[in-house]
């Protein structure tokens, strides 16, 4: 059968593969960055973290903070590995410097 790809291999003399090999276009994996709730970090501090490190506006940052407060955690962004790792470090350092127990983690997206 003609494969219409313009090459010289329309007729391979009867040794065609049963299935075409899949072109490998693997996207790099993405990682979810999550904030976890705790009883001590001030709500305003969490809103500031979302604004400063994730570029989220005040209204949406407040909504996400309240979601974490009520549900226990929320995904705050999805990034390639190195960027996710940097966000986690920045948040953890900032929280530690202010002596808040805020936790930020990352998890590979399925």
Binding site for ligand TYC (CB under 6 A): 35-39, 41-43, 46, 65, 68-69, 102
Residue 15 C-alpha from the chain's centroid:
44
| Residue 27: both structure tokens together | 């996207």
- Give the C-alpha separation, 47 to 93, whole Å: 16
Shortest Å distance, C-beta 77 to ligand TYC: 14
Shortest Å distance, C-beta 94 to ligand TYC: 13
Beta-bridge partner residues of 26: none
Shortest Å distance, C-beta 93 to ligand TYC: 16
Of 29 and 42, which has the nearer Cβ to ligand TYC?
42
- Give the C-alpha separation, 38 to 48, whole Å: 16
Of 10 and 93, which has the nearer Cβ to ligand TYC?
93
Shortest Å distance, C-beta 104 to ligand TYC: 8
Largest Cα separation within the chain, whole Å, is: 73
For residues 91 and 18, the answer to whether their CB atoms sit within 8 Å is no
Of 31 and 64, which has the nearer Cβ to ligand TYC?
64
């Amino acid at each position: 059968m003609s494969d219409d790809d313009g090459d010289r291999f329309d007729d391979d003399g009867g040794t065609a593969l049963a299935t075409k090999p899949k072109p490998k276009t693997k996207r790099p994996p993405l990682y979810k960055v999550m904030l976890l709730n705790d009883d001590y970090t001030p709500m305003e501090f969490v809103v500031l973290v979302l604004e400063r490190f994730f570029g989220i506006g005040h209204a949406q940052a407040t909504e996400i903070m309240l979601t974490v407060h009520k549900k226990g955690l929320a995904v705050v962004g999805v990034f390639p590995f190195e960027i996710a790792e940097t966000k986690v470090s920045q948040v953890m350092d900032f929280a530690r410097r202010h002596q808040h127990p805020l936790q930020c983690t990352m998890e590979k997206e399925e």
